[in-house]
Structure 1
């Protein structure tokens, strides 16, 4: 036998259930629960978690500080690292060679007093008005001065050209070292050596120009002395 419940009865039951009181059990924040003899305090647990989070944050901050200090020390070490390549010995050897070639100047050295003595004895004054034998000797001495000066100029120029290979090698090595420099000190040292190399090239150029100028000056002085001597000879010829 089926039980039929009318629509009005179902509505009445729904109203009774809706009107029934709801019982809410509130738990104080400091309440403790026991599970098998273990006491659990939510407030104490939350406080412990907060303290642990703060301690972990402090540890993380200390780790970051240590990492920053280590990075700073590494960078300082790189900045203080010296350049592994030095061209100083090569530059000094090249400059010594050029200086030696200038010091080996024949007959008239690169010295003010020596030049004054040579011109007084062979290029001016009584050197152009002596007897025939003296004139011939002085003319021959002037010719030897000119020939020696031109030879010296060629030797200096050859030495300067010979330095070009060493200069090219030094430039390549210094540019490579500069590009691969890991710190400020290495970059500065590479730059300083490049400047020193440039100074050495300027010194070679100055030496070559000085040797060439010396030869040309002696040749011009020889021409002037020959002209003065020719006038003296002509005067004597007409006086006879």
Structure 2
């Protein structure tokens, strides 16, 4: 009961102070109830201090909440992409390289190419004995046929890789769209770039194999023309 009287007295003092004109504000008198002195002005100051303290606490709570949200976002950005197509891409590259390594008669090697041309396409190969001319002509024909067969095998391998590449693209695009952070999105993009590089490698391999076949066929035609001139020269000399 006494506590309620104290509160009513304090409230009455605050109301009375608030109703005074602006120019006639005077220090409120302390109220004495039951032998206990209650100062309304001190009570109001305590309430104001408590309100400010509560506001500071709320601000600190908001800062902690923002920091927690930031940490959660950073954790998401650091999560790795659960999907990887590296093994499939390496397998496709290895298959294409294997097809190129199976090149018949003349490998994709500068030294081997030079040796083959020296032996069958120029110089003594076009001016030797009759049996040697026939053998070299057959060897050049086999080179051309083998090169065209190699080109077709590489092209077939590239077409086969296209099916696997299509599946990889679908997987990576889906993973990119469902990425939860910056790292996952970046990793998906990097894998798509790797897939594009693999496809460019397949295209380069197909072009190289096709070009090799066409160049060998052109070299065969040029060698056959030179051999024909040699045969004609011998024919005339024999007459």
TM-score range, shorter chain: 0.7 to 0.9
Match of 1:5 in 2: none
Match of residue 162, structure 2, among 153, 164, 171: 164
- Structure 1 gap segments, 5+ residues each: 1-26
TM-score by length of 1: 0.85
- For the residues of structure 1 that align with 2:42 and 2:119, how far apart are their CA atoms? 114
- For the residues of structure 1 that align with 2:211 and 2:186, how far apart are their CA atoms? 37
Which of structures 1 and 2 has the bigger CA Rg? 1
Post-superposition offset of 1:182: 1.8
Match of 1:192 in 2: 190
Partner of 1:108, secondary structure, is: coil
The 5 A counterparts of 1:1-240 are 29-34=28-33, 40-240=38-238
Judge conservation of contact 2:30–2:37 (CA < 8 Å) in 1.
Answer: no
Post-superposition offset of 1:104: 1.1
Post-superposition offset of 1:28: 6.2
- Structure 2 gap segments, 5+ residues each: 1-25
Q: Encode CA deviations 1:29-87: one digit per residue, 9 max, x unaligned.
A: 132142x6765432232122112101110110110110110011011111111111111
Compared with structure 1, are the counterparts of its residues 28 and 114 closer, same or farther at alpha carbon in structure 2 (3 Å cutoff)? closer
- For the residues of structure 1 that align with 2:161 and 2:195, how far apart are their CA atoms? 11
Count of residue correspondences: 213
What is the root-mean-square deviation of aligned Cα atoms in Å? 1.5
- For the residues of structure 1 that align with 2:220 and 2:49, how far apart are their CA atoms? 102
- For the residues of structure 2 that align with 1:30 and 1:176, how far apart are their CA atoms? 76
- For the residues of structure 1 that align with 2:84 and 2:132, how far apart are their CA atoms? 57
Structure 1 residue runs of 4 or more that deviate by more than 2 Å after TM superposition: 36-41
Post-superposition offset of 1:172: 1.0
